[in-house]
Amino acid sequence: MNEQLILASASPRRRELLDQIAVSYIVNAVDIDETPKDAEIAQHYVIRVAAEKSAACLQLLSPTLPILAADTSVVIEGEILGKPENEAHAMQMLQKLSGKTHSVYSAVSVRGKAGHHQALSITEVTFRKIEPTEIKAYWKTGEPQGKAGAYAIQGLGSIFVESIKGSFSGVVGLPLFETVELLSRQGIKVIT
């Protein structure tokens, strides 16, 4: 298969989403500092991190293929919830999300011959009330580990979701509508 782009991410969820739309890729994950800057708002944070990932990949490879990078953050009351460090951290995050609506910001950065373009998807997700015993049981499944906000909407975490307004794929980690628009600017057509 002829690869169409370079994916600057190790995320299996992003690979699954690209597979879903039949876009072929090479994985070249980059490791950058993803620490939010002082007083940086979530929207600016995800856009910056996605751009820094694609720039780091470009610098490493100097490729002929376009580079796609993304970043997704779960945000509640202005606070960016990253990946849980341990069970107590996951408990704290999920208790914060319990019975409330939070935002999921998912930024996409594509660099290629047509330049650098970015897009941002914002999705509102409402959780039902979650019991502490459910959170403990959920942690034991292993699913919350390595997930922003300590949940996976495409997995068992979906049982907590009362409603969603926006992009399901954006919550998973790569908003496909925006991604396809950016790829088309680089000459990559999903449906031909």
Judge contact between 42 and 80, C-beta under 8 A: yes
Nearest of 82, 83, 123 to residue 106 by alpha carbon: 123
Q: Which residues are known to be catalytic?
A: 71
What pTM did the predictor assign? Answer: 0.92
Whole-angstrom distance, CA of residue 23 vs CA of residue 32: 25
Concatenated DSSP letters of 97-133: HTTSEEEEEEEEEEEETTEEEEEEEEEEEEEPP--HH
CATH classification (class only), 5-185: alpha beta
Q: What is the pLDDT of residue 190?
A: 86
Q: pLDDT tens digit string along 107-149?
A: 999 999 999 999 999 999 999 999 999 999 999 999 999 899 9
Q: What is the pLDDT of residue 96?
A: 97
Instruction: Tell me the H-state helices in the chain.
Output: 12-20, 42-61, 87-97, 132-140, 168-172, 176-185
pLDDT at 62 over 80: no
Integer-rounded Cα Rg, in Å, for the chain is 17
Eight-class DSSP state of 159: G
